[in-house]
Chains A and B, each alone.
Chain A
Amino acid sequence: MNLGDIKAAARLRLQDTRSIVWSDVGLALFANDALDELTQSEATLKRVSFSLIEDQRTYSLPTNLLELRGVKINGNKMFGTHASLLEELDSRYLSTTGTPGYYYLQDLLTMAFYPTPSWTDSYTEFEAESGMVSGEDGVVVQVTVDDTDATFDSDSGVLIDWFDTSQATNSVIESLDGEVTGYSDGPFVCQISYVYRVPDLVNDGDTPELPVYMHDALVFYTVAEALRKEGQGQDKKAAKFWQSRFQELQKEWFARNLEWSRGEDQFASQRPVSWGDDLETRMRVWP
């Protein structure tokens, strides 16, 4: 069902097929309101990736972001925190560099990492606690890198993890002589998943980003809003009927979303929640 179909179905219910009482623009507006009501939930997730820049702490978030759901760097889960906690943990948190372990929101559209990302650019360069560098003291004697895999052999050490650039995990190689630490695999790639605001329906051919069976809900909401609007076509009793139809579908949709994903809201504790005002949030997200 596209926007044209939604408007036509709404007009059938409003008995205004010739656009005498309600304009097309008005109905499209109501349909988009309905889309907003239905889509700011766990079931409208997007995932995007971006490369981190060395020594850059903050990064812009997509403008269609509503809530962050998960942050990973090179496949590893990052933990959400916030600035005041980091300040207690490390007074130099704004300038500490290393492999990021935490992320926090700087503002609604900016996220930051702690420590500020930094890495070793080459596969063959790494740090060792006791100075064991390739070719020196014979700890790591061979590093082979191809498109997908890097293999490390060690003379006297024990390889405890293997490294695959497609996984891009950090590797630690222990040896009798020392421990290679802080090995990084080049630029970090950050992957975030987030609840997004779906694009508005603009043209008659646009289809809502919802399953087909939920498209009827857009019709019900559009009719309810049109009938509620003050003016010639106002009919509050009818509006109530259509609104209840919409609400039933909305509740079911949110219930299904929770069942599907149940993604943890990592910022739940950061919301200024007073008693009762989180009810709407609890209905649509897993706390």
Chain B
Amino acid sequence: MTVAEIVAEVKVRIDQDGDAGFFSDADLISLTNEAYRDITRFCESLEKDSTTSVGSYDSLQSIPADFLESRQMRWSTNRQLYVRSEREMDWDINNWMFETGTPDNAIYFNWNQIRLSPIPQSAGTLRFRYAYVPSTDLTSTDEPSLPDVFASILVDYVCAHGFAIMKEYENAERKWGDYLVRRQDLKRRSKQDQMTPDTMDNQRPVDVFNYPLWDQGYRNRAGRR
């Protein structure tokens, strides 16, 4: 389903005839992109690889702009990097920020940087697999990377927001409800099918971690809870 097809379906659902109505095509494409970001962010359904050449003694690396959550990190050939927090590092090694050697750990700093520890003594490659949210907008001929059966979720999102903008609140709430249910279903499926393990899975602080939010995918799984 292309963006143009999504826009056409939205127009029918919100009773807009052609371009003469409430929204221009550009408005609806913009809402479709917003919907796509929302879906991919919530469901973590998109993953890709990134390879960065790292010079010797170059420990601080930028995280890709579309980064959402890490899946795997490897140093050079195939050395696994463990994602740890600064707190854990401080606890283990007093001056870890200055230790040199072959990297074993990757530590997040801010939302856009990652530090390798020990600092690489020789140049290497950082291989990074991560869930991402598209940072460039789809155009009308593009097709969102979603299974066909779920592409129409985007229609629900755009309709809900369209109705809200037009102050048709009952319709907006109904469509929004549809969207939330289907988004949850997609998240459940993408989590079930996610073959690459989440490297942070066993490191989450369970006592304050917002599981109700994160676990929505599992919550409705048959036989569980």
Contacts and interface: CB of A to CB of B under 8 A. Distances in A.
A48 to B, nearest CB: 13
Interface stretch (B71-79, B139-147, B163-171): B163-171
Given A211-B65, A263-B87, A46 B110 contact: yes
Interface in A219-242: 235, 237-238, 241-242
A213 B110 contact: no
Contacts of A238: 164, 167, 169
Contacts of B214: 255
Interface in B177-212: 200, 203-205, 208-210
Interface string A226-265: 0000000001011001100000000110111111111110
B34 interface: yes
A264 B87 contact: yes
B108 interface: yes
Nearest to A282: B208
Nearest to A252: B213
A45 interface: yes
Given A77-B90, A235-B167, A287-B208, A260 B30 contact: no
A75 B110 contact: no
B3 interface: no
Contacts of A210: 111
A77 B38 CA distance: 40
Interface string B86-128: 1100100011011100000000111110000000000000000
Nearest to A15: B165
A54 interface: no
Contacts of B111: 43-44, 210-211, 257, 260
Interface in B24-64: 27, 30, 34, 37-38, 40-42
A179 interface: no
Interface size class of A (residues with CB under 8 A): 35 or more
A76 B95 contact: yes
B82 interface: no
Interface in A106-153: none
B158 interface: no
B205 A241 contact: no
Contacts of B108: 260-261
Interface of B: 27, 30, 34, 37-38, 40-42, 65-69, 85-87, 90, 94-95, 97-99, 108-112, 133, 135, 161, 164-165, 167, 169, 172-173, 176, 200, 203-205, 208-210, 213-214
27 contacts: A12-B27, A12-B165, A13-B165, A46-B110, A47-B109, A75-B95, A76-B94, A168-B98, A193-B109, A212-B37, A213-B37, A213-B66, A213-B133, A216-B38, A238-B167, A238-B169, A241-B176, A251-B210, A258-B210, A259-B200, A259-B203, A260-B85, A261-B86, A262-B87, A263-B86, A263-B87, A286-B205
